[in-house]
Chains A and B, each alone.
Chain A
Amino acid sequence: MAETYTSRLEEAISWARKYSLFTYPFATACCAMEFMATMAPKYDIARFGAEFPRFSPRQADLLFIVGTIVEKQAPVLLRIWEQMAEPKYVIAFGVCASTGGFYQNYSTVPGADQIVPVDVYIPGCPPRPEQVLDGLMLLQKKIQEGTTWVQQRDRREREKGIEPPRPRPRRLPVIS
């Protein structure tokens, strides 16, 4: 009986969370133009409860990696992800964020998933706003099912008996 209550409660919490995503746009390249179009009234990401970009990672729970990530920037991306509020989700926006795209060279990270755990990959160079909304809806589905990376990690840790608060994120060396 208690298990039923817990799962119903978790379902309700997941339902609330998936419709109140606060996005942190980590916009580094031309994909940002499509992100702006997605945010703007014509495509209107607000219909899915994710209209509120927060420019502080501490107030956000959805990290949009919009564009190419270079090696020099990778520590910054990791620090931003570590600073975000739990539970947090990551979307790789466009092929550069997903795989490095056509940049196969000394400077580019071959996919943001080398740095942070990515839940949804949106292909395209750049993706159309419809694809972005499709990716967001896929993320909402994953949140409801509890299959995002952070939710799965939490479940694994609960089974092992580890409870929050977790150890603080390690400090990274400052790169001047």
Chain B
Amino acid sequence: MAKADLDKLVATFPEAIVATHSHCGDETAVVLPSHLSEIMRWLKESGGFDLLVDLTAVDYLGRDPRFEVVYHLRSMQTGNRLRIKVQIGEIEGGPPPEVDSVVSIWPAANWMEREVWDLYGIRFAGHPDLRRVLLYEEFVGHPLRKDYPKERRQPLVRRENLLP
């Protein structure tokens, strides 16, 4: 089970683990953003987690730190799963929040990080081509942020006088 992997991770990086959670074979570790690259590389190379299943983000508006980037890992040899979370805050009026990119570790992260940038506005340092992937370039803002107004529309085309 992945509990052994989680214990090994905590033993190897005791100073970088913020919190862990373990329930019914569902293992999670919250790590410091400053150690993310190092931990991810270790998990891929020594932990055997060779598959990045998913990479997404959550906006906890009103909490500090506000954002959480979530990585779902899987080992194809043992079938174990591990979830890594990293919490990042934002500076009011400052640059967008930023975490290290994992594209150099798992190439599959490329489009997933672009999607997180597109919809949540979290930048990934070291990403080779961080552009919007789903929305159009003219779009302003990041619509899955909880403070994006539900009713705001940013149309590319509208026609007038279409009624007969």
Contact = CB atoms under 8 A, between A and B. Distances in A.
Classify the interface of chain A: helix, strand, loop or mixed: loop
B136 A78 contact: no
A12 to B, nearest CB: 23
A107 B143 contact: yes
Nearest to B162: A117
Interface residues of A, number: 23
Interface residues of B, number: 16
Interface in A37-58: none
A149 interface: yes
Interface stretch (B14-22, B34-42, B120-128, B149-157): B149-157
B162 A71 contact: no
B150 A105 contact: yes
A7 to B, nearest CB: 20
A107 B152 CA distance: 10
Interface of A: 71-72, 74-75, 78, 104-107, 109-110, 113-118, 147, 149, 152-153, 172, 175
6 contacts: A106-B153, A106-B154, A114-B155, A115-B157, A117-B162, A117-B164
